[in-house]
Chains A and B, each alone.
Chain A
């Protein structure tokens, strides 16, 4: 599985670049300017598609961690680490692009709303995962500990969402785009964004796995 990802990195890269170019063209020339929010609404196309790669990355972290604890195969630990790193990149983009849209539309950079708070906590959980890996002594224990935290993190996510929902009540965040009844041009542009971002995710993941594999091979040669 790891070998497949590493071998296919270039293909993912070419596909991702092409899809990004198409998506960007659609955002600028094809998607209409929204009547109420104006051009600011176009941030939506760069914001919403980040969610799927972020969740996918964190899912892979938990899955890789669980499989590592069961089988002790290093490749699963590398998958978990790569998933977290790439997931955090996309989650950071959610946290950054959201306020850029929110300021002109809501009048505030940040509100302690259900969706925003749950996403922020999710970002903190996997940032903590990366800290755990970065600041540990680099032993085998780090892999085990990080696996445990990766699993604990994904289990906590639905509870965090539920807890925030109970505490904050209603959400100001716009509804799921699929349910929002968008015009066809907007829906197609958004769909193109999802495809492009998923391809970028696949490219980043394959490159990160390649680097991790090279590091592991080098370590084995230095310390056989």
Chain B
């Protein structure tokens, strides 16, 4: 069995579980909706001055909501004792990581679409002005979050305080993605042409953490 097939099998299994059980996606979506509604009620109405804050607010909500899904990334395997089977995959275990990242990537991209819809409804965010580049940004941002989140959720799961540890590990390392994604979203919503190096550096950051995860997952699963 080639590595790519293993990754595809894990992606398929995780997607089926997400679609059939719906609890992981449901928790993230309900949490995001509640926070956006609370923000819409408690914050003053969005005007030209405060509009610049909205992208950072939305990316932060996505980060917080993603914790609920990422924390359960390897939970099913741990609960069912299926980790032993993952360890015995007949290929480099980095492919297991890539399969898990792909499943989380799709789940987080769906979460971003959900947040975009809610923010258009409640916060008057005009996503049509941002154009198709916004979809590219959502894909890059969610890929980085999926790569870092999958890796760190696996590290945190070894702890007695996994729920506390995941945000503590994730937030400082997520800062660059959060900053760049917020800046690019602000530029896109403002109809500005955003700086090309920002896109490149965001893609590079995603790529580095995909590589770190791929090369270290062997040792992580072994232990």
Contacts and interface: CB of A to CB of B under 8 A. Distances in A.
B219 A139 contact: no
A50 B159 CA distance: 31
B179 interface: yes
B53 to A, nearest CB: 13
A194 B201 CA distance: 34
Interface residues of A, number: 33
19 contacts: A69-B216, A121-B172, A125-B173, A127-B168, A131-B164, A131-B169, A132-B155, A135-B159, A144-B222, A145-B155, A145-B158, A145-B223, A149-B169, A156-B173, A156-B176, A159-B201, A162-B201, A163-B176, A166-B180
A148 B219 contact: yes
B4 interface: no
Q: Is the interface of B mostly helix, strand, loop or mixed?
A: helix
Contacts of A131: 164-165, 168-169
B183 interface: yes
B161 A151 contact: no
B180 A151 contact: no
Interface string A164-187: 101100000000000000000000
A140 B180 contact: no
Interface of A: 69, 121, 124-125, 127-128, 131-132, 135-137, 139-145, 147-149, 151-153, 155-156, 159-160, 162-164, 166-167
Interface core residue of A132, A151, A159, A162 (most chain B CB under 10 Å): A159
Contacts of B39: none
Q: Assign chain B's interface to a size class.
A: 20 to 34
Nearest to B178: A163
Nearest to B169: A128
Contacts, number: 96
A74 B160 CA distance: 23
Interface of B: 151-152, 154-156, 158-161, 164-165, 168-169, 171-173, 175-176, 179-180, 182-183, 198, 201, 205, 208-209, 212, 216, 219-220, 222-223
Given A160-B172, A163-B175, A148 B159 contact: no
Contact of A141 (B152, B158, B164, B176): B158
Given A156-B173, A163-B175, A148 B212 contact: yes
Nearest to B56: A167
A140 B223 CA distance: 7
A135 B179 contact: no
A166 B183 contact: yes
B151 A148 contact: yes
Contacts of A162: 176, 201
Contacts of B160: 135-137
